[in-house]
Structure 1
């Protein structure tokens, strides 16, 4: 039936404002075959913002469809769905951390976000499980300074906050951020006070400088870093293996060790 309806359908509904793309209906119903047929016939996998369903894209709607989730996501990506920070935020909201990491590997943009506040709101709620997503976000090249707003600094645990600081030069922060950190430190344990009072090592500053010179797609690839003409110990260091182990993030550390072994 869908084969017969597609040629007769006004294509304005595809991406037209105040319209509802049939792609939404396929995702809502969990109909993978219908979804693929629509996309094969040129319907956009990104459609339009849909106020009727309350989603900004079909990908966002897919998070409501647990049983068919991965199939739908892969079909949307196959036909060029554009990832953005809202999709990462939904991963955190629904605790789909493996999908969060998958989206990072697929090249979800990590700069010029328009919905940073919404992302941070979900990130704060997911911070008790930060080891499953935050290391991957920061290793992929996300600017940790973007997290250091009042809500993040004052809401997350000391461990999460210190882990965030490990991916920057915490002695050269904007004055407003320094003030918020100092206020949090004065009302918390000595561990945070000690950390922000310490001076980053020269090796850490070199690590930041080297990583800042790499392209975003290279930061997402452990194997690329492992192929840099450097000693293996420096590969580990550039991949923050020391910080990951210190914070007991075994999966990320183990994966990096595996990639390092394969690359050497």
Structure 2
């Protein structure tokens, strides 16, 4: 290539003059024999520079200079490309130079020439918001439904994405409104996703399908709900968007689920009004509460609107039994612990899996949280399987819930040093734990702590046999006073607890209201007994 007429940066003299927009200088250089087809290190020639600069006069001068060539040669020059595959027409359209584009088209510029990255003059004009250029190119027959970019977007997709409402107004009259990209996403879907309300309205008015679905079945209403585009949600609903159309192949996801998951409360309330309540508890459906557990504001809203705290069992579809189980599994995160609190306050049922989350650990926060909202029933209530009213805002544990709690506790005795003090102080009848497994496997300190809450002298012969065997094997080191008859003071507090009920004694101020000396209050509530040392818990705190 001949660079004898080029500057040090490889831009030719004519190209440099064209860049500056100097028609007089361009004409003089051409007449002096300077070439217009020399390319710089980007592949740009004088016509590229003039078109990019928007100098209609320079473009005209350059085109006149090549006009004497053959028709084929002239067209070849007009459509010459930079190293990026950009034509002069593309550069002018990209920069909004309407007069230059018109002149180049008259000179037979290829209106649909693609660049290396699959763009074209129309796509560039749309992307940059040059609506007059868009209008010209469309009127001259530019291909409007061609796909561009790696994701196969059309000009209409890009116009909507950028919020070029004037370009959309032009394109909706000539484009395929249902054209989709490589994920089967239509322009209307894009408008809903990016909150382009004006573009969405134009597409709807032109007849675009408001219930179009992407490859994964997501709908415009789902994506607008997920992104909290309230105006788009309202516009879609007003124009026939179906809030009950399943939006996932894996489980029956609805827009209300997306709003709940991301905590978009205003959108959530709007969708609750129009969503079929079968999603609340019906088998095969999924309650929005499952999606809401990470956003306790959503949980609160759904419960206020009457959604069941228990919902349906979604073990098959989501791998969790209930919203509470899901929240408990995530409760190390503050929003989820608040969701646990809200679900418990609303009366959510506890399952065996839920008790595992609370008991099979060296942490007691979840167990304490549960017991804030659940009252452990008296022994006679458990035996009779009868119900009792709520007490101080707490619901009574159902017999099944209590049975499962005890089963889980006795199956995880290595954590008994953590859960045992919490349960006994919450009013659990100690005799319920006087089981062979407990006495055979519990740590020595745990066993001593439990025996302090009972009359150890009246244990049944089988249980005494287990204790004697452990003592002989030196796997249990009992307190010395366990060989004696309990003191009268201990017998008195046992009788008081039996009379009042463990729940009232341990969880209310009933003792403080009795005519007994204040120093006895702690003793009567068994607070003088030292808790067993939990090494794992101590290590965690350190």
Name the TM tier (shorter chain): 0.7 to 0.9
1:225 corresponds to: 511
Q: In the TM superposition, what are the counterparts of 1:3-152 in structure 2 within 5 Å? A: 3-17=269-283, 19-27=285-293, 30-52=294-316, 53-65=318-330, 66-67=332-333, 68-82=335-349, 87-110=354-377, 111=382, 112=399, 113-115=402-404, 116-122=406-412, 124-127=413-416, 130=417, 132-152=418-438
Q: The residue matched to 2:528 in structure 1 has which SS?
A: helix
The 8 Å contact of residues 166 and 243 in structure 1, kept in 2 or not, is answered as yes
Aligned alpha-carbon RMSD (Å): 3.0
CA–CA distance in structure 2, aligned partners of residues 216 and 190 of structure 1: 27
Q: 1:244 to 1:18 in 2, by over 3 A?
A: farther
The 8 Å contact of residues 314 and 320 in structure 2, kept in 1 or not, is answered as yes
CA–CA distance in structure 2, aligned partners of residues 189 and 222 of structure 1: 37
Q: The residue matched to 2:529 in structure 1 has which SS?
A: helix
Which runs of no fewer than 5 residues in structure 2 stay unpaired?
1-224, 226-255, 257-268, 383-398, 535-542
Divergent runs of 4+, >6 A: none
Which runs of no fewer than 5 residues in structure 1 stay unpaired?
250-264
Q: 1:172 to 1:213 in 2, by over 3 A?
A: same
CA–CA distance in structure 1, aligned partners of residues 274 and 514 of structure 2: 55
CA–CA distance in structure 1, aligned partners of residues 477 and 315 of structure 2: 46
1:258 corresponds to: none
The 8 Å contact of residues 376 and 503 in structure 2, kept in 1 or not, is answered as no
CA–CA distance in structure 2, aligned partners of residues 18 and 220 of structure 1: 43
TM-score by length of 1: 0.76
CA–CA distance in structure 2, aligned partners of residues 237 and 119 of structure 1: 26
TM-score by length of 2: 0.40
Q: Which has the larger radius of gyration?
A: 2
User: Aligned residues, how many?
Assistant: 242
2:396 corresponds to: none
Deviates more, 1:188-197 or 1:91-100: 188-197
Q: 1:7 to 1:18 in 2, by over 3 A?
A: same
CA–CA distance in structure 2, aligned partners of residues 49 and 213 of structure 1: 41
